[in-house]
């Protein structure tokens, strides 16, 4: 005789799998970030915003990756904001590991939107 487990029982028995890069989700100001490093960068941005050095801070801003009128995919940056000291719009991604997929997406952003995605490690 075989026993049938419910969905909840299977979940309870299964080991919780962590992030493959070891990142730990962190909550700051009610916002859940994918890593402690990303949350720390957000805290730093908030201080810069209060000082007036940056403005228009956006989290998880989507960018459409469209070629010849066809949507290939969407890239979501970690942070996008206007830097008053450099007088430019900045798109920042917090990464511990630079993957091939991200490097491809970064090149697409440069080619399609003329935006250089900055990487914070």
Report pLDDT digits (tens) over 58-107: 999 999 999 999 999 999 999 999 999 999 999 999 998 899 999 999 99
* Assigned fold of 20-120: Trna Endonuclease; Chain: A, domain 1 (3.40.1350)
The candidate with the shortest Cα–Cα distance to 118, out of 65, 75, 61, 78, is 78
Q: Report whether pLDDT(1) > 60.
A: no
Residue 98 has a pLDDT of: 92
> Residue 23 above 80 pLDDT?
no
For residue 21, what pLDDT band results from cuts at 50, 70 and 90?
A: confident
Q: In what helix (H) or strand (E) does residue 42 lie, and over which residues does it extend?
A: helix 36-51
- Residue 42 sits at φ, ψ, to 5 deg, of -60, -45
The pTM (predicted TM-score) of the whole model is 0.78
């Amino acid at each position: 005789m075989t026993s049938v487990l419910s969905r909840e029982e299977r979940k309870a028995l299964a080991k919780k799998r962590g992030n493959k890069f070891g990142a730990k989700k962190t909550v700051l100001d009610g916002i859940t970030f994918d890593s402690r490093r990303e949350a720390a960068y957000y805290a730093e941005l908030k201080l810069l915003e209060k000082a007036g050095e940056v403005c228009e801070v956006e989290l998880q801003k989507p960018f459409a990756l469209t070629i010849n009128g066809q949507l290939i995919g969407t890239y979501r940056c970690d942070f996008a904001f206007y830097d008053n000291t450099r007088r430019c719009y900045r798109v920042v991604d917090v990464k511990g590991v630079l993957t091939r997929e991200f490097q491809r997406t970064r090149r697409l952003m440069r080619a399609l939107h003329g935006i250089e995605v900055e990487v914070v490690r």
